[in-house]
Chains A and B, each alone.
Chain A
Amino acid sequence: MGLLALGTALDWPDAQKRAQQVREWGIKQLLEIWNKAKHKERDGMLWGDEVEYIVVRYSEDAPNVLLSLRQADILSALAADEELSAKGGGVPDLQDVKVQNPNPLPVFHPEFGRFMLEATPGKPWGPGIKELLDVESDMKIRRKIAKDHMESEEYPLTLTTFPRLGVPGAFTDPYYPPSGSKLRSQFVPDEIANPHIRFPTLAANIRWRRGRKVQVNVPVFHDEKTPNPWKDPTVNYDLHNWPEDDDVRNGAAPDNFIHMDAMAFGMGSCCLQITLQAKNIKEGRQMYDQLSPLGPIMLALTAATPIYKGFLADTDVRWNQISRAVDDRTAEELGEKPLKENQRRIPKSRYASNSTYISTDPRLRPEYFDPNLVIDESIKAKLVEGGMDDLLATHFAHLFIRDPIVIFNEDLEELDLTKTDHFENLQSTNWQHMRFKPPPAGSDIGWRVEFRPMEIQITDFENAAFSVFMVLISRAILSFDLNFYIPIAKVDENMETAHARDAVLEKKFYFRKNPFPNRVPRSAAGSNTNSPTSSRPASPVSPVEDEYALMTINEVINGFKSEEHDFPGLISIVESYLDAVNVDVQTRCELSIYLDLIRKRASGDLWTAAKWIRNFVAKHPEYKRDSVVNDEIAKGLVSAVIDIGKREQASQGWKGLNIPDLGNFLGSFRGGCGSNGVKRAADEIN
């Protein structure tokens, strides 16, 4: 019941006074974990996926579709379901969920947005290749159970964002007026956030620390009839309820940007996250580093976020909006004012791409690091003194430049070294695109890495495909000892590139040309260590700039051959892994369907959700080529997504649905959009 533990949450001025104490205690707890778990060995490859939903209220007769704020009621209904809890499912935050069941039902969790739900499998997935085929049906069961505990007009949708979040007038059910004391947003009410004290405090203290509201500005998409310059017509410059209402008068809402001003615009986004357990800390550090350069690639490939606040945006993904929605940096830290109160300039939000590498791999060259990485030197010194190596100490000393945002008074009375609450306070409010997760206190869980950049996909089929792909590529990385290192600054740059409209087809990304390990000469392998990690850097060492090139997503995923390069592509790498593993023909065929989806999204044969949504809007009779996504268009879009979901739940395929461009989006997968489909095992939901 960790997340929702009750207590007295400190307002920012009080929290700020205790920040150093929380950091120091957090470091002590971290060193305690480190010393206990640094030699932890032979943990199995367990993994988990997290699917997030928005909950909408939709009926054919209602003029518009609304976000349902009944999260608490839905979670209570799920927790009260005796059959669900008897089978190992339920809501861990509200009840003790039994885990004895060998095949437990899924579990549900609250999220920041009061219109959101998160669902995870009832227990982690194991290392077996065949288990990968259970993911899709489990995701379908999750959606079914969620829906069964909602009202008939409520639907759990895997859309990254609600297209009408923050528009003037009603967009939630029930309606609440905006401009509350916590968020002070002129667009969304305080009631948009989960009412548990943690969440409004998080939002309020981010704003308070920052000294003004967050500024989530996303460039508007300029269509034929969109004015240029475009001024966000929903911004009210004459509001005088809170001091922060001055923000827009002070230039918070520049021309040609959709302006948003609250954490909910970012943290209200849904994503697809994968967590992988490593056999030991060394393997965890290796996976953290090697999956890191894949982050921007997978972000662009899963792009699904073209609409904000009722307008078409000129970007396709959610990432930077979340980054800005929780950016608690002060004007001094942002470099807008000389340093006086604050200790240092900080170049990135606490939600941002990875800042450093942590592996002990000898192939990790000094040139890959950011020479300007900001760290807290005193914290690093404490970690090193406590026995942690320099690289990992640097990583945590970077995370710990931040202040803890939500502090409960009760937790400050006594330091409990059997817990990890203070460490987690900092760790879990550093939202980088990967997270390196030490073993939690009092459990047998091992070192883990979380892969966080992917956008949630509209169907469970797609979500399963991307989850399965990430698991397979992680196994291929470890088996073949692959090397995807590029300078971390290039990963940052790729992350920005991934935002562009249709980046998946239009942009190029820095990627390593040769991902293979160097051969270990027989003389060097003379002892009884055929460990892959004995691979050595190239000798003589070539300039780092020669190691990578700009590639399209299609080239990264599907490979290419030119006079200079011969890059096999991630799909071929995964297939070669599967070639070497004992997999029965049917399993292999099922997996190849997932790989096909990814192959086709990368090549442009199929569209990303972002492109499909854009085209849906463009073809809607109500759309006036002015970038405005009004109630009727949003309703049409949600209606289409609901219809797609109903067909998927019934394993019927999408044939005959009167939805534009569905074939370009989902192709002939899972029963297809145009032809007769073949029913497959993964279509069965029970």
Chain B
Amino acid sequence: MMRIVLSTGNIVTGGPSIIRKPGTPRSNLELTNSLRSNFSAAQKDYAPSPVSSNGNGPHHGNGYSVNGNGRPAIDAWTATEDSVLYVPRVDWTVAGLQEDRERYEITLKLFFLPTASVANRTAYIEEAWRLVTKELGVDRIDLLIASFPGISFEGDCEWEADKINATMGNDDEEIMTWTALESLYEQGKVSRLGIAEFGTEKLQRFINRVKGAGILADDENAQNGLQGTLIPEWVVKYTAFVNYRGVIENKGYFAGAELAKA
């Protein structure tokens, strides 16, 4: 078993993956698209020699291992830290925000996935908090919103869906998790807690892709990915909103998973 952390980096200035398709409701496409584009960007950036922006043409032989397709092998653009595999590797030296901490409203939305154990949620909460605060260079989150499996809320504006939510989910499990969240609040690591109106059901497509490890490999070149079965556990979405300007400075995702060796 190996722990894996997937990340998107800051997607706010990362181009079209943050823009929803015209006429479609908000969806988890943003997560899968931005993960995919961050992976391909990392593969380019950690390629053996500078890759020109038109992008193709193999490069060989200076340090990083290279597979037959001209891309760096997985150990070049991922990193293992404290026995966690980061996909892609995260450059913590560029972490941080541009303005003083009090200028921001930092929101963290944590999705507990149905594929993960309820007993481990305390650990997921701590890991998500650790990653986001490290990425943004802060020691406190303004608002943490928990999203539980089994709750769905479709569309932007459907009041009825909100009512249906009330009948979904598992109260006992949610209350246990809530106790863990409250501990973050008591330690001053989170200023406010909330429950999401948009549930984990939204992430179903992401879950399906991760489970097949498809998210790490392009279809025709599966050896580029990881061997084994990925079990997604949680996803955290974070946003750093510059309050006095109405501007989003940073938005991204981390996702935690277990890799079970085949």
By the criterion CB–CB under 8 Å, are B44 and A517 in contact? Answer: no
Kindly specify which of B173-181, B214-222, B247-255 makes contact with the partner chain: B247-255
By the criterion CB–CB under 8 Å, are A572 and B20 in contact? Answer: yes
Kindly specify which of A104-112, A400-408, A527-535 makes contact with the partner chain: A527-535
Shortest CB-to-CB span from A575 to chain B, Å, is 6
Q: How far is the CA of A523 from the CA of B49 in the complex (A)?
A: 12
Interface centre among A520, A526, A560, A571 (most CB of B within 10 A): A520
CB-defined contacts of B54 to chain A, threshold 8 Å: 540
By the criterion CB–CB under 8 Å, are A45 and B98 in contact? Answer: no
Q: How far is the CA of A473 from the CA of B227 in the complex (A)?
A: 44
CB-defined contacts of A525 to chain B, threshold 8 Å: 91, 94
Shortest CB-to-CB span from B61 to chain A, Å, is 19
By the criterion CB–CB under 8 Å, are A572 and B12 in contact? Answer: no
- Say which residue of B20, B42, B94, B103 sits within 8 Å of A575 (CB atoms): B20
| Chain B, Cβ-Cβ closest to A568 | B19
| Chain B, Cβ-Cβ closest to A539 | B53
By the criterion CB–CB under 8 Å, are A127 and B44 in contact? Answer: no
By the criterion CB–CB under 8 Å, are A478 and B247 in contact? Answer: yes
By the criterion CB–CB under 8 Å, are A581 and B244 in contact? Answer: no
Shortest CB-to-CB span from A583 to chain B, Å, is 10
Interface string of A512-525 (1 = CB under 8 A from B): 00001111111101
A62 CB-CB contact with B under 8 Å:
no
Q: How far is the CA of A632 from the CA of B241 in the complex (A)?
A: 55
By the criterion CB–CB under 8 Å, are A479 and B248 in contact? Answer: yes
B162 CB-CB contact with A under 8 Å:
yes
CB-defined contacts of A519 to chain B, threshold 8 Å: 14-15, 41
CB-defined contacts of A527 to chain B, threshold 8 Å: 94
CB-defined contacts of B12 to chain A, threshold 8 Å: 479-481, 532, 580
Shortest CB-to-CB span from B200 to chain A, Å, is 17
Kindly specify which of A148-156, A499-507, A585-593 makes contact with the partner chain: A585-593
- Say which residue of A481, A569, A582, A588 sits within 8 Å of B13 (CB atoms): A481
Interface string of B128-152 (1 = CB under 8 A from A): 0000000000000001000000000
A577 CB-CB contact with B under 8 Å:
yes
Interface centre among A526, A568, A579 (most CB of B within 10 A): A579
A129 CB-CB contact with B under 8 Å:
yes
A614 CB-CB contact with B under 8 Å:
no
- Taking CB atoms and an 8 Å cut-off, the chain B residues in 89-109 that contact chain A are 91, 93-96, 98-99, 103, 105, 107
By the criterion CB–CB under 8 Å, are A559 and B13 in contact? Answer: no
CB-defined contacts of B103 to chain A, threshold 8 Å: 42
CB-defined contacts of A592 to chain B, threshold 8 Å: 156-157
| Chain B, Cβ-Cβ closest to A577 | B248
CB-defined contacts of B205 to chain A, threshold 8 Å: none
CB-defined contacts of B239 to chain A, threshold 8 Å: 580-582
Q: How far is the CA of A97 from the CA of B159 in the complex (A)?
A: 43
B169 CB-CB contact with A under 8 Å:
no
- Given A535-B13, A571-B22, A581-B239, A522 and B248 contact (CB-CB distance below 8 Å): no
By the criterion CB–CB under 8 Å, are A585 and B197 in contact? Answer: yes
A169 CB-CB contact with B under 8 Å:
no
CB-defined contacts of B42 to chain A, threshold 8 Å: 522
Shortest CB-to-CB span from B20 to chain A, Å, is 5
B18 CB-CB contact with A under 8 Å:
yes
- Given A589-B157, A592-B157, A582 and B245 contact (CB-CB distance below 8 Å): no
B246 CB-CB contact with A under 8 Å:
yes
A69 CB-CB contact with B under 8 Å:
no
CB-defined contacts of A481 to chain B, threshold 8 Å: 12-13
B10 CB-CB contact with A under 8 Å:
yes
Q: How far is the CA of A576 from the CA of B241 in the complex (A)?
A: 14
CB-defined contacts of B209 to chain A, threshold 8 Å: none
By the criterion CB–CB under 8 Å, are B245 and A45 in contact? Answer: yes
CB-defined contacts of B93 to chain A, threshold 8 Å: 526, 528
CB-defined contacts of B52 to chain A, threshold 8 Å: 540
Interface string of A544-588 (1 = CB under 8 A from B): 000000000000001111000010110111011101111001001
CB-defined contacts of A535 to chain B, threshold 8 Å: 13
| Chain B, Cβ-Cβ closest to A131 | B246
B45 CB-CB contact with A under 8 Å:
yes
Q: Which 10 A-B pairs have the closest CB atoms?
A: A559-B22, A127-B246, A516-B15, A522-B45, A479-B248, A44-B244, A589-B157, A568-B19, A481-B13, A532-B13
- Chain A positions near chain B (C-beta within 8 angstroms): 42, 44-45, 127-129, 279, 471, 475, 478-481, 516-523, 525-528, 530-532, 535, 538-540, 558-561, 566, 568-569, 571-573, 575-577, 579-582, 585, 588-589, 592
- Chain B positions near chain A (C-beta within 8 angstroms): 10, 12-16, 18-23, 26, 30, 41-42, 44-46, 50, 52-54, 91, 93-96, 98-99, 103, 105, 107, 143, 156-157, 159, 162, 197, 239, 241, 243-251
Mind listing 20 A-B residue pairs with CB under 8 Å? A42-B103, A45-B247, A478-B245, A478-B247, A480-B12, A481-B12, A521-B41, A522-B41, A528-B95, A530-B250, A559-B23, A569-B22, A575-B20, A576-B19, A580-B239, A581-B239, A582-B105, A582-B239, A589-B156, A589-B157
